[in-house]
Chain A
Amino acid sequence: MSFSRSLAARSVVAGLLVSLLVVVALLVVLRALGNDQQAAREARRTAAVIASDNRVEKLVIDLQTAERGFVLTGSDDSLKTWNGARAALPVELLRLHRLVRDPAQEVLANEIVRDVRGYVEHWSKPQVAIARVDRERAAERTVRGGGKLRVDDLRKHFSDFSARQQAITDDATERATATGDRARTVAIAAAGGFGALILLYVCYLTQAVLLPIRRIAAAADRLARGDLSARVAIRGRHELAELGRSFNTMTDSLQSERERLAEAITRLAREHGDTELYSEFGDQLAAETGLAAIAETILRTLADEAAAEVGALYVATDPDETRMSLSATRGLPSRLLSEQLDLGVGLAGRALAERRIVQASHGGTGLPLFSFGARLVVRHELHLPLIYGDRLVGALSFGRTSEDTFSASDVRALERLSERASVALASALSTREVRRLADLNRAVLDAARDGMVLLDGDQRPVLVNATADRIYTETIGVSAREALSLAPEAIGAYMKDPTAYVATSEAISVEPDGETRDEFELRDSGRCFERITAPVRDAAGDPIGRIEVVREVTGERQAERVKNELMATVSHELRTPLASVVGFTELLRERELDEPTRRVYVDTIHRESGRLSALIDDLLDLQRMERRGVELARDHFDMGGLIAEQVGLYSAQSTAHELAVELPPTPLMVFGDRDRLAQVLGNLLSNAIKYSPDGGRVTAEACCESDRVTVSITDEGLGIARGQQEHVFDRFYRVDRSDEHQIGGTGLGLAIVREIVEAHGGRVGLEDAPGRGSRFWFEVPAAAADGAPGFEVRRGRVPRSP
């Protein structure tokens, strides 16, 4: 708004104008009053002039009278009066001269002064002077009237002067009166004009300010009473118009705000309804834990919301989210729907792949479906992906049979509910995954060979695997949790070395950071366990507790023990023949011996060297087999023939035993390494002979059962205790028997037997022979019986060698 249009400016200008007018009027009045005063002053001065003139006239008359009196009488009184008048005259004349302003009057006054002076000097003074001397003469002169003429002339002057002065005074007075009248008129006019101006100003103010303000106030009042339609009509561009416009703008905005509020309230009310549904949906989902139940709830609620008669929910049951499985259906039998939904396949697959809602309508004909016997025609489809974060957790498909399409608000409501559904599904899937992983972890832990216990800081078990429970139950008869609540002494009581167990257990319980490892052996069963403990920290490095891993090492310890023992045996077996070789060699070197003795010594050395050699051969053989596996040179041959051959060989070596062979009439063809199997037979026969008492019978038998050839060697020895039977094929294992007599051998023969037979894909075994003794057997796969035996098989009892 420009200044000239401002109401304030206008008011100021109007105010200034009024003030100016008032000042002008006042000046006029003051001027008039000044004139009036001047006129009065003039009148007063005129009166003073007249008075002075009168006094001069009176003095002149006094002078004339006294002069005349003196002349006539010569009295001193008259002279005194004359002298007084003469003395007063100059003063009075000066006053008169001073008082006169008017130029004409001044001329007149000058004439009067001149004439008076003239009269005094030229008449009166000389007359008095004459009178003093000669009163007669003086009287004469008086009669001649010289002096009287002059006085008359003077009196005429005085009269003229007075008259003219009076005229001037009158004129001045008249002028002053006129001026005063004019001043009054001006003053009255000014007062009137002033009042009118004020009235005008008031009117203006009323018109320009008061009325608009009143209108605004009235509108504000209406506004205050809630009438938002109140508006103010003020034209112009001044402040009040501006105020009015502001008011109107304000009410406009209030009105629109109220309309918006009303809309918002309506929307809120609607949303409140939605929220209730949403919240109820949330509650329902929260109440369910199973994936299937959650899927049902989701489909039911969203299908209701979508007013869809048919629907299906597919859930991402596999972790890579590319495939969804049908989890719930509505209005359709599930067999009508595909069990799987692949990403990008079909409308629902597209919704998933593109992560957006996909809609389709089927036009007039619709998509006919058979729903539980009834025929449905789906007119509109809607497919909605369920997304949680970045994860696709499922897909919803809905079908409507009505003509109504899915509206934008339907879609919004579905989207809103689908968020909740996605969260619930994701959570259920996570729970399922977590449970699956937990089960997996549990299964792995339980399947572990090691017993595992996680103890928290207070030594309470947090985790116990099944193996730990089994170990504790087997060894001390209580579960791991119970066992761990026992004092170390209570558990130590089961140990072979309770003190060591207790000491280590206590050391572990006070060891906060280090790893520990110890081993203990059960007193009764001899079972050995290795115990390893270590602190466990979480991902952040904070201590969780301590894990105790208990592993049974009975087998390892036993194997070690067996190995150590048998190494000692091997050492013994090696050193014994070696001692003979070394000893006899030394005797041969150091002593003078006769020939027969030397012969005996050399024979002994030779024999013992052979023993050594055989032992070393067996050891190396077995070691090679262990290391590289048995290298077989396979061929087709008749096992019966090989048995007969080996029995024949051993019969020739031992005359103390009876060896028999029992074989079926047909060849026992096998595909194997003939030399290796000969070694097997040799070892078994040699053992049987060794462990049979002299005169004992050793029987070799063989038969073919379906696809296997079984060979057995039965002796009549002492037999082998049941508990030891399973170990006889172990390397370095020796049957412990109290009546053990000198039995050669390396303890490796049966181990070699097992290696060779197993390399052929066969088995070895041992059982008690009927009556007395043992029956060692082995079986190897039979070869196709196409080849004839390569040699004649001897049957029956093997003839003794001579």
Chain B
Amino acid sequence: MEPKILIADDEPTMRALLRATLDGRGVELFEAADGATALALAQHARPDLLFLDWMMPGLSGVEVCRRLRAQPETAGLTIVILTARAQEADRQEALAAGADDYVTKPFSPLALLEKVRATLGARAVS
């Protein structure tokens, strides 16, 4: 069974970039354009990894993170906040909300792919 990755970002271009980076690497991709969708998908699709934008309409990424951590079934989900907010205080806030990693935009797609490989371990991404 392929690892599942959920991409949550309101910017279509960003989702396209992540899809272009990860597509065809032996992962199953899900996409959400806002916080509420991301939350719902995370609970139903049970992804292994979540790339979560912060500033989305409705629920913010950090709020989604907080809620996912609060629920037992998603508490173990690996969450990488992928955001344009670059201040240290933001990073601290995100980590405090339960994020596993914090990546600021712009980022290197190939480095991100490495992160994915490292995270998903045995079910290594090709």
Report A's interface with B, CB cutoff 8 A: 568, 571-584, 586-587, 590, 597, 601, 604, 607-608, 738-742
Contact = CB atoms under 8 A, between A and B. Distances in A.
Given A568-B85, A741-B57, A579 B110 contact: no
Contacts of A584: 17, 20
Interface in B89-121: 90, 104-110
Nearest to A578: B106
Given A568-B87, A572-B85, A575-B84, A590 B110 contact: yes
B11 A742 contact: yes
Given A580-B14, A582-B107, A604-B16, A742 B21 contact: no
A740 B105 contact: no
7 closest cross-chain pairs (CB), A and B = A575-B84, A579-B105, A582-B106, A579-B106, A572-B84, A740-B57, A583-B17
A740 to B, nearest CB: 4
Contacts of A739: 57-58
A597 B19 CA distance: 12
Contacts of B57: 739-742
B108 A738 contact: no
Contact of A575 (B33, B106, B109): B106
A582 B103 CA distance: 14
A681 B83 CA distance: 33
Contact of B14 (A576, A601, A740): A576
Contact of B109 (A576, A583, A604): A583
Contacts of A597: 20
Contacts of B107: 579, 582-583
Query: Interface on chain A toward B: helix, strand, loop, or mixed SS?
Result: helix
A571 B106 CA distance: 11
A587 B58 contact: no
B71 interface: no
Contacts of A740: 57-58
A587 B21 contact: yes
A601 B20 contact: yes
B11 A576 contact: yes
A583 B57 CA distance: 23
A520 B33 CA distance: 40
B13 interface: yes
Interface residues of B, number: 26
Nearest to A611: B13
A583 B85 contact: no
A575 B58 contact: no
Contacts of B106: 575, 578-583
A571 to B, nearest CB: 6
Contact of B105 (A578, A586, A738, A741): A578
B14 A579 contact: yes
B45 interface: no
A575 B13 CA distance: 12
Given A576-B105, A586-B110, A742-B57, A571 B17 contact: no
A691 to B, nearest CB: 14
Contact of B21 (A568, A583, A738): A583
A422 B76 CA distance: 95
Contact of A571 (B16, B20, B58, B86): B86
Given A587-B20, A590-B110, A579 B58 contact: no
Contacts of B90: 568
Nearest to A584: B17
B125 interface: no
Nearest to A572: B84
A586 B108 contact: yes
B55 A572 contact: yes
B10 interface: yes
A366 B1 CA distance: 132
A619 to B, nearest CB: 16
Contacts of A586: 108-110
A412 B12 CA distance: 105
A144 to B, nearest CB: 207
Given A583-B21, A741-B10, 4 more contacts: A568-B85, A571-B85, A582-B106, A582-B107
Contacts of A601: 20
A604 B13 contact: yes
Nearest to B87: A568
19 contacts: A572-B55, A575-B86, A576-B13, A576-B14, A578-B106, A579-B17, A580-B17, A580-B106, A583-B21, A583-B106, A583-B108, A583-B109, A584-B20, A586-B110, A604-B17, A740-B57, A741-B10, A741-B57, A742-B10
Contacts of B12: 742
- The residue among A576, A577, A740 with the most chain B CB atoms within 10 A of its own CB is A576
A531 to B, nearest CB: 26
